[in-house]
Amino acid sequence: MSQRTPLIAGNWKLNKTIAEAEEFIQALLPRVFAADGVDIGICPPFTSLQAMVDSARGSAVRVYAQNMHQAESGAYTGEVSAAMLSELEVQGVVLGHSERREYFGETDKALALKVPAALEAGLEPILCVGETEEERERGDTERKLRHQIQEDLAKVPEDQLAQVVIAYEPIWAIGTGLTATPEQAQEACAFVRALVAQRSEEAAAQVRVLYGGSMKPDNAAELIALPDVDGGLVGGASLDPESFAAIVEAAK
């Protein structure tokens, strides 16, 4: 049994207006009232961040943004900085989600700046890594994970590595209904931890590694119980308060 507190974080992606987000949080809070020993996060769109921080204040639920820019300020239309998020009192930020990498050209080079910028502003980054189906089939899963972890965390000092949450998300399992088998999830998450250990054994023992990819109430307990899995990053099943609360329950 690890000493790491599990984290269940719900990535809403491009879903929920402020009114819908309010409805969700009012339904979630009583359901997770007694969720001791589990950290709970929701990752709403930017527009609902302030409302969710206000509504979740005093509860066990923390709020994370889904993206940020690496610069402190400047001519980057449409972007927000780490300091702007921190001012909203959000807990952290999801970085390097495969959808951002694929549809918005988020690169490892940018992530190498984003992760330390988030830490510097007091935010907890949830860094997403993972392989495509093709990469898995041709035996390149470890190569891909090694590349992403080494590049994206290159500028994070050793004594701050444990503050990063790493979400292993096989791209073929995101939003597809296909879930990694417990063996696949354990193997990949252990590999991610071993990569962190190459920089710092101490950080590797503390760093939280999440699994993400079609996690649902009926498969969550088995995945979260794996020795190197410290919770989940949940997409589709996080949109419904009952399903999300059931996944939180599975992590207790």
Contact residues for ligand PEP (CB under 6 A)?
11, 169, 174-175, 212-215, 233-237
Selected catalytic residue, list 20, 69, 97, 142: 97
d(CA 146, CA 67): 22
Specify the residue, 10 or 116, whose C-beta has the smaller distance to ligand PEP: 10
Are 46 and 65 in contact by the 8 Å Cβ rule? The answer is yes
Q: List beta partners, residue 43.
A: 11
Q: Any binding-site annotation on 172?
A: no
Is 216 assigned a ligand-binding role in the annotation? no
CB nearer ligand PEP, residue 145 or residue 215: 215
Is there a catalytic annotation at residue 201? Answer: no
Parallel, antiparallel, or unpaired: how do β-strands 165-168 and 208-212 relate?
parallel
12 annotated as belonging to a binding site for a ligand: yes
Nearest CB to ligand PEP, comparing residues 93 and 215: 215
Q: What Å distances lie between residue 207 and 9, 20, 33, 202, CA to CA?
A: 15, 33, 26, 9
Q: Consult the annotation and say whether 219 binds a ligand.
A: no
Please state the closest distance from residue 177 (CB atom) to ligand PEP, in A: 8
DSSP state letter for 62: E
Whole-number Å distance between alpha carbons of 6 and 56: 19
Q: How far is CA 96 from the centre of its chain?
A: 9
When CB distances to ligand PEP are compared, the closest residue is: 235
Q: How far is the CB of 174 from ligand PEP (least distance, A)?
A: 4
13 annotated to bind ligand? yes
Whether residue 151 lies in the annotated active site: no
CB of 42 to ligand PEP, least distance (A): 13
Q: Whole-angstrom Cα distance, residue 147 to residue 1?
A: 29
- Rounded to the nearest angstrom, the gap between the alpha carbon of residue 112 and the centroid of all alpha carbons in its chain is 16
Tell me the backbone φ, ψ of residue 31, rounded to 5 degrees.
-75, -25
Catalytic residue among 87, 134, 169, 202, which? Answer: 169
Q: Nearer Cβ to ligand PEP, position 149 or 215?
A: 215
* Rounded least distance, CB 14 to ligand PEP, Å: 11
Active-site residue set = 97, 169
Q: Which residues are annotated as a binding site for substrate?
A: 11-13, 175, 214, 235-236
